[in-house]
Amino acid sequence: MTGDSLYCISCDTHSAVKSNRAVSEELDRHLELLATPGGLHCPQVTCTNYFKPIDSHPESYSPHGRTARGDKRYKCKCCSKTFSSGQPHQRQKTSHENKSVFQMLVGKVCISKIAQITGLAPKTVYDKIDFLHAQCTKFLADRERRLPELEFDSMRIATDMQDYMVNWPTKKLRKTIQFRALASSCLDTGYVLACHPQLDPRFNTNDIQAAVEACGDLDLKPAMREYARLWNYEDYATALQMEPGTFAPVREDQDAAEDMTTDRQLPNQGAMVHIDYLMFGHFLYLHALIGRRSGHVHFSLDADPGLANACLAAWKDKFLNGQLDVAILTCDKGATIDQKNAAVAEAAKLKIKAEEKFPYLHPFQAWLAYFVDNSVLPYFHGRRRGEELRSREIPYPFIKKSEPGKKVRFLTDDGQRSTMEIARLFHHTSLHQVDRFFMQVRRSIAGLERAPQYPRRASRKWYLYGFYSPEMVEKCLTIYRTYFNYIAKGEDRMTPAMRIGLDKGPVRFEEIIYFE
């Protein structure tokens, strides 16, 4: 160990030291969603009695009378929260509007319009969104607890991140709150396996700052801190001191401060998670979800710094068994529609040319053979080929419309596979499904649409329909992921949940709203 990094004598590389405790905390945060307890229990997520149902832990609660409907009411002895045995929708005076609010929320109707159309007060609309979020969370937990029991011969997964912006909550500090969400989708079925925002709603930044100062974290190196996982104001100040362009194209030093600009602020509602720990927690969660009973797994990753390291670390058992492939994909994300159409037309011409050159092969095999003949693959062999594929981006010509200028950096070649096998992996490397999910989120949730930039406001951004609470981003992403996976049907009349084997048919809105 040298300074803040671990040095590998074998491959002559340095790896930044990270906090195992912080990684474990982030994984536990994600796993709690799967461990949503059954039965009647304390509704406060941060309470120690949250996972203690009344049936099995009666000593943790005390009777607290009855509701107007006659349902038994209880009081938690730990946090003093009161709750009843009645269903949540039974306590709503306008429960018949729940479906309408759900449908309009995922149909790009803004909060004020939802209130206007339904005749509900804005606060009631927000209360219904809280209710829908809780129902979706319980529904997802019930369904996705089955994923570890399913067996997959192989699985292709696409992972990417997207930025979300929240309007400044007060005019005194006109700085937006911006954070990222990390999502992974199954490329074969379109099922969004996880979507984790860079926000922990159980804490807030002011409390974290006070805790950091009290325990002496500021005197320690970042990886050695008790609260290494979450941002504090000292981290914010350190990030602002970095030179512009530090993060272009990638952040090589994974122990350096993360990107932060002067027109952004940390949230007061919720605490931001350091992006590296979000990545480790995300990939470890995926491993717990599908890693134990799946065969070969192929990850297609965006070029965001740190994604590949986190993926390889979390899935090291698969890698050592030769059952993991990881590839980084880059493409021309700024291409116009005309440029994309031109790229697809050029790919079609190359396909015809390949099939003419190799008439005795299946068309797909002909494309791969043509790619191999016109790439650097035949010029390197064994370990040297693996080193070349890890260090350079190889253009791949047979593209989808969403990925013009596709280039692939392949990280897990051991030099023992044929060039045709490597070419097949290049072809199957894609971010299409996860990018499609993020695109649908932008198009379907009014508050999550990309904010326009107004010339008179210089670099500051403010969006008329944007949310003012960071927690709304997490809630809407959970609600939309539920809708996307279980309700929305594709051209084949199937939902992603049906394709992956979690449901036999499309789910109705009512099944989620009244889920027990």
Structure tokens at 488: 């929305």
Beta-carbon neighbour count of residue 97 at 10 Å?
A: 19
What is the rounded (10 degree) CA torsion for 221, 224, 230, 232?
A: -30
Q: What is d(CA 66, CA 371) in angstroms, rounded to the nearest whole number?
A: 72
Residue 357 has phi, psi (to 5 degrees) of: -75, -30
pTM of the model: 0.86
Which run of H or E residues covers position 18? none
Which residues sit opposite 271 in a β-bridge?
200
Instruction: Give all strands (DSSP E) within 125-235, no chain letters.
Output: 152-166, 177-186, 192-197, 199-200
Cα angle vertex 311, ends 308, 314, to 5°? 145
Residue 265 has a pLDDT of 82
Tokens 């062999």 belong to: 381
40 contacts 86 by C-beta, under 8 angstroms: no
Provide CB contacts within 8 A for 199, sequence distance 6+: 179, 267, 270, 271, 272, 273, 470, 471, 473, 474
Which run of H or E residues covers position 76? strand 72-76
Q: Is 272 helix (H, G, I), strand (E, B) or coil?
A: strand
Q: What is d(CA 337, CA 350) in angstroms, rounded to the nearest whole number?
A: 20
Structure tokens at 139: 């529904």
Structure tokens at 127: 């209360």
Cα angle vertex 137, ends 187, 204, to 5°? 105
Structure tokens at 258: 């993360």
Q: What is d(CA 453, CA 327) in angstroms, rounded to the nearest whole number?
A: 34
What one-character-per-residue DSSP string does 334-387 give? Answer: T--HHHHHHHHHHHHHHHHHHHHH-TTS-HHHHHHHHHHHTSSGGG--HHHHHH
287 contacts 315 by C-beta, under 8 angstroms: yes
What one-character-per-residue DSSP string does 240-258 give? Answer: HTSPTTTTSS----TTSPP
Asked if omega into 148 is within 30° of 0 (cis), the reply is no
Structure tokens at 193: 């396996």
Q: What is d(CA 20, CA 229) in angstroms, rounded to the nearest whole number?
A: 10
490 contacts 479 by C-beta, under 8 angstroms: no
Which class for 389: exposed (0-12), middle (13-18), buried (19 or more C-beta within 10 A)?
A: buried
Q: What is d(CA 514, CA 98) in angstroms, rounded to the nearest whole number?
A: 10
Strands 177-186 and 152-166, how do they pair? antiparallel
Q: What is d(CA 223, CA 244) in angstroms, rounded to the nearest whole number?
A: 24
Structure tokens at 44: 């406060």
CA distances from 234 to 168, 436, 470 (A): 21, 37, 21
What pLDDT tens digit does each residue of the chain (516 aa) get? 434 677 777 767 777 788 899 999 999 999 987 876 666 888 776 687 887 878 778 888 998 888 877 788 899 998 888 887 765 554 556 677 899 999 999 999 999 999 999 999 999 999 999 999 989 998 999 899 899 889 999 999 999 999 888 887 777 777 778 889 999 999 999 999 999 999 998 888 888 999 999 999 888 888 888 999 998 888 888 877 765 544 443 444 444 456 677 777 888 888 999 999 999 999 999 999 998 888 999 999 998 888 999 999 999 999 999 999 999 999 998 889 999 999 999 999 999 999 999 999 999 999 999 999 999 888 888 889 988 999 899 999 999 898 999 999 999 998 899 999 999 999 999 999 999 999 999 999 998 887 665 544 445 666 778 888 889 999 999 999 999 999 999 999 999 999 999 999 999 999 999 887
Q: What is d(CA 488, CA 203) in angstroms, rounded to the nearest whole number?
A: 33
Which run of H or E residues covers position 478? helix 470-486
CA atoms within 13 A on the CB side of 18: 23
Which residues sit opposite 10 in a β-bridge?
none
Tokens 């909060």 belong to: 111
Which class for 93: exposed (0-12), middle (13-18), buried (19 or more C-beta within 10 A)?
A: exposed
